[in-house]
Structure 1
Amino acid sequence: MSGLVVAIDGPSGSGKSSVARGVAVALGLAYLDTGAMYRAATLWCLTQGTPLTDRHAVAEQVRALPLEIDLDPAAPAVRVAGEDVSVAIRATEISSAVSAVATNLEARAELGRRQRTVIEDESTGGWSGGRGVVAEGRDITTAIAPDADVRVLLTASEAARLSRRAKELHGSDDEAAVAATRDQVVRRDADDATVVEFQVAADGVVTVDSSDLNLEQTVAAVLDVVAQVAPR
């Protein structure tokens, strides 16, 4: 039997990364954060001095991107040219710029190719030894892994998403912190929605609304979906 593939997508602040890691740990699967790949590509372009408005040059840089992703959900890491950039790619500068790469269709095609390769490798071997992978992002259930065993759209109200991201970035969800976070959440979702649908579940995709759930409850809800859709 091939490995289990769980695909999770959804908007900013819905909890995709934390939930996907929790599910991967619980199931003993690899964890693929596709958003980190876009962030790494953005960082690479900026450090190479490539204007993000030059779509062809960005695509060329992404094709040459020396990227390594550690798939252990207990210790995920991202390296570019051998350097650990796991922290650097979460900087506000990258968060504000990443949509320029995410909406570049040539760059998106290259990163999508790499993502499909990882998913295929983990289904037969790879870090998980063939047990499978939990992959999360914005187009996983539709464009990258439409044939995944389990496909989940993880969503939450805008207020909940803004609160979570504000706490993550600023340590508070007071009015000022939420206001400072709004651009990263609302604008980025609007930008990315021009090239991919991640806010409405496609046919066969199960919606999990985490608005009123904490992390543990949301992980449990997704594990329930896995148990129902792909019992093993």
Structure 2
Amino acid sequence: MKLFKSEGWKSFWPNFLAVILGIVITFGGERLITNYQKRQDAREIVGVFKTDVERHLKISEGLLDSYTAGISALRKCAVAHGRKRLAEIPEDTLRCALGLFFSVRGDIYSPVGMKVLEVSGALGAVHEPEVVESVTKIGNVITTFWRQQDKMATNIVGAKQHLYESGRLDWSYRGTSLHETLEYRFRCLMGDTLCAGLVTRGSIPAYLMMFRDMNDTICAELDIVRNAGY
């Protein structure tokens, strides 16, 4: 005697398999949606990071242009000072040269996007290893850039402080003209060992060359991220 009618089993198995398949599709679909959402979140955060990197490049390039103009003016004034022809240097050139010392300050800039990436773990959702590598490298280079910029500024500020403490510079001194006042300040600067050393030994230009190389590296890595579709 048959315990079950074959017709019953025939109708049961398709329904059973449909239920199982539905469960698999449901949970698999949810996983696909979750993974897709993570990918989208990572893409948005990388987009924020890119905006921060572009902001760094804009700020730093402006700063480097200012430093480059300052060191160029310093060299012109230093040569004229050595030849005792400082009076022939234009007033604007003297002001630019002195500004590198008396107006410099250290700045630390860190991309907000990199911090968000670190905290959120969004890079884990990025499947392209070259993108992960480039983003990480860019973050490290930018951090190093601003630390070194602060170090350079600290060296300049330290030399300036030494000049003040030496008593060589009387900040209240006013010559018969603004040009004469600027000449006096530059001669005082060149009379200080630390200040003159930063000009004659080329320490500042070496920093600027390093900063330019860093930004070139950042641009190259940023291109990799863009070419990957981010």
TM-score greater than 0.5 by the shorter chain: no
TM-score by length of 2: 0.22
TM-score scaled by length of structure 1: 0.22
> Which structure shows the higher strand fraction?
1
Which protein has the bigger helix share? 2
Greater Rg, structure 1 or structure 2?
Answer: 2
